[in-house]
Structure 1
Amino acid sequence: METVLVEDVLHRFLLERAGVRGVLVRLGAAWREVAGRADYPPVLRSLLGESLAASALLTGNIKLEGSLSIELKSQGPLRLLFAECSDQGKLRGLARWDGEVPAPLSLADLPDAIMAITIGHADRGQRYQGLVDLQHAELGQALENYFSQSEQLPAKVLLAADGEHAVGLMLQRLPGEGGHDAAHDADAWPRVVHLAETLGGAEMLATAPEELLYRLFHEESVRLFAPRPLAFGCSCSRERVESMLRSLGREEAEAALEAREGEIEVTCEFCARRYTFDRIDVEHLLNHASVSAPDTAQ
């Protein structure tokens, strides 16, 4: 009997005997929607898939209002990578590159690279941002180091992606978490990490979440919580584009109208949705901005 692999889902779980909590993410259609937006070089496509899975993975054990994003910028061939997961389980992402992207791609070798994890609700001005140390080649290693420094808790992060799926597994040791014997089992965390390290990328991509967890940790009393659905989704809106056009000011907006024969078209890079504004639309926006300005300043 053929096993049907569940896609676009986040599983939280406990290894009660070991005192370890974890999150497992498996992306299918949501990842293919993101991957299909550009003809990415294979090595960059894999990194983008891993980043998208990681963005969902990191939401698994935090109270999130808004979104969590992973953003990488560098002066090398990989110019930008962005992956985001919202509190509603909506995912989006993209990457930009210039020239040939080296394979294998090491994060540690990217010139002047900066990676940030941003958590919060940008529209409300509530944001927390942490920088990720890029001394390691792989994203999973960089995230492990991030958790070690920011939370002083060890973590194990495994990521894998191909053209069809993107998968992530994260384990964290927490004091007092899990079963009664966890605090007295000094070998619990090393044992769980060793079991996780036996897992290869191909196996992660080919195995259903429940089967994968029980195959690895069946002796650790796996307690699986209800799955959380994930899906591709973009937070762009006409209101956000209007706000951007107002911020340009009259001179730049009118110059854009002249350059585009009386119409401004803005296309979202994440979902390809198009927003068009003619002269009447732009005039209304600019007049509304000037009328609203005194109230905003008070």
Structure 2
Amino acid sequence: MNKKTDLLQRFLLERAGVSGVLVKLEESWQEVAERGEYAPAVHELLGEALAATALLTGNIKLNGSLSIQLKSDGPVRLLFTECTDAGRLRGLAQTDTELPDRLSLFQLKSPLMAITIENASSGQRYQGMVPVEQGTLSHLIEGYFIRSEQLPTHIQLVCEGGKAAGLLLQPLAQGGGIGDADPDGWNRVKHLAATLTREELTQLPVEEILRRLFHEENAVLTDSRPLAFGCQCSRERVAAVLRNLGREEAEAAIQIDGRVEVTCEFCNSRYHFDRVDLAQLFRDEPETPGSTATH
């Protein structure tokens, strides 16, 4: 990340009274993409979702993680992306074997989409459902903000050429206390943002994008943070999953070498548990009849 290929940059457009977030992903997106053999249509949707997840962490106070999850009966059965408050990203998709060359969200069967915020310190979890009723991920999230927060929002997402990127704009309440905000500022900024091409959003540096689009809006860079691929899996988390499965299922998964192997779908890390490990996990439970005791 020494060249800042992956970052989240917040900014203000002082004249218009608008706040914004720009996200640029390259190395982190390629890390996610290389861990699955995705068809082009799914590849693009997953990249856009990863950029959107990072974008949404830029407009809230986050102490934990934010995720976007899309489920359906096919052809995309699961799409999941997550960004933590430390800027660590991960994601994956599970699909049918037969996929169209191009994929619209309207083609999904019985789709369900949710945006979830998990607070690491309190353990609280907030989940908002997003109706899948328009054709692009950008439109879905814009509609989510209108319904849940009555907040006009403009979002652009793109994934191509080994990069993913996103732009989010929202008007500040009563200009956010920035002088006398232009009453037409929001409409003007939306029209200016609409002139941004996909290539410009992925290829140009943040400063150049803001200069080209908003050179008359007094754009001010505020805080930024680096973004990187990062998985939250651990031996402790995998052990908790095995405990939830129960002793019988865990022991049924023991392979010929006498161990259970669990592979993380996000980062391909492998965790092994032998019979002694399993006995420790379930030491407060009665043994399964016929299981081998360990000493």
TM-score by structure 2 length? 0.92
Q: 1:11: Cα distance to partner?
A: 0.3
Q: Could you tell me how far apart the structure 2 residues matched to 1:193 and 1:5 are? A: 30
Deviation at 1:250, TM superposition (A): 2.0
Q: Secondary structure at the match of 1:25?
A: strand
Match of 1:77 in 2: 75
Query: What residue number does 2:173 align with?
Result: 175
Q: Which residue in the other structure is 2:87 paired with?
A: 89
Structure 1 distance, partners of 2:208, 2:62, is 28
Correspondence list, 1:184-195, <5 A: 185-195=182-192
1:87–1:260 CA distance, 2 compared to 1 (3 A) = farther
Which amino acid in 1 is paired with 2:269?
R
What is the CA distance between 1:261 and its match in structure 2? 4.4
- 1:158 and 1:288, CA in 2 relative to 1: closer, same or farther beyond 3 A? same
* Map of 1:154 onto structure 2: 152
Query: Is the Cα–Cα contact under 8 Å of residues 34 and 270 in structure 1 kept in the other structure?
Result: yes
Counterpart contact for 2:51–2:157, Cα < 8 Å: yes
Match of 1:283 among 257, 279, 283: 279
Helix, strand or coil at the partner of 2:128: strand
Which of residues 211, 221, 224 is equivalent to 2:221? 224
Pick one of 134, 139, 147 that aligns with 1:136: 134
Q: Distance in 2 between matches of 1:234 and 1:260?
A: 29
Asked if 1 retains the 8 angstrom alpha-carbon contact of 2:63 and 2:120, the reply is: no
Q: After the TM superposition, which segments of 4 or more aligned residues of structure 1 sit over 2 Å from their partners?
A: 99-104, 121-125
SS of equivalent residue, structure 1 residue 287: coil
Q: Distance in 2 between matches of 1:19 and 1:201?
A: 25
**Higher deviation after alignment, 54-63 or 105-114:** 105-114
Where does residue 293 of structure 1 map in the other structure?
none
Distance of 1:260 and 1:123 partners within structure 2: 41
Task: Look up the equivalent residue of 2:178 and give its one-letter code.
Answer: G
Partner letter of residue 37 of structure 1?
Answer: R
Deviation at 1:99, TM superposition (A): 2.5
Structure 2 CA distance for aligned equivalents of residues 123 and 74 of structure 1: 32
Contact 1:8 1:27 in 2 (8 A): yes
Q: Deviations over 1:14-63 (max 9, x none)?
A: 00000000000001100000000011111111110110011010000111
Aligned to 1:256: 253
Q: Which has the higher helix share?
A: 1
Aligned partner (choices 232, 235, 240) of residue 238 of structure 1 = 235
Amino acid at match of 1:59: T
- Maintained 8 Å contact 2:22/2:167: yes
How many Å separate the matches in 2 of 1:5 and 1:194?
A: 31
Query: 26, 29, 37: which one pairs with 1:39?
Result: 37
| Identical residues among aligned pairs (%) | 57
Residues of 1 paired with 2:98 and 2:196: CA distance? 31
Conserved 8 A contact 1:25-1:53: yes
Distance 1:149 1:198 in 2: 26
| Higher mean C-alpha displacement, 61-70 vs 173-182 | 173-182
Deviating more after overlay: 242-251 vs 129-138: 242-251
What are structure 1's unaligned runs of at least 5 residues?
291-298
Number of residue-to-residue matches in the alignment: 284
Say whether the 8 Å CA contact 2:63–2:121 is kept in structure 1.
no
Aligned mates of 1:72, 1:163 — CA distance in 2:
24
**Alignment deviations for residues 205-224 of structure 1 (CA, whole Å, 9 cap, x no partner):** 11111111111011000010
CA distance in 2, matches of 1:101, 1:116: 23
C-alpha change, 1:123 and 1:235, in structure 2 (3 Å) is farther
Tell me the distance in 2 between the aligned counterparts of 1:129 and 1:289. Answer: 34
SS at match of 1:225: strand
- Judge conservation of contact 1:246–1:289 (CA < 8 Å) in 2: no
RMSD of equivalent CA atoms: 1.8
What runs of 5+ residues in structure 2 fail to find an aligned partner? 287-295
What is the rounded CA distance, in whole Å, between the counterparts of 1:7 and 1:229 in structure 2? 9
2:116 corresponds to which letter in structure 1?
T
Task: Say whether residues 1:213 and 2:210 are aligned partners.
Answer: yes
CA distance in 1, matches of 2:185, 2:25: 29
Determine the C-alpha separation between the residues in 2 that align with 1:123 and 1:264. 32
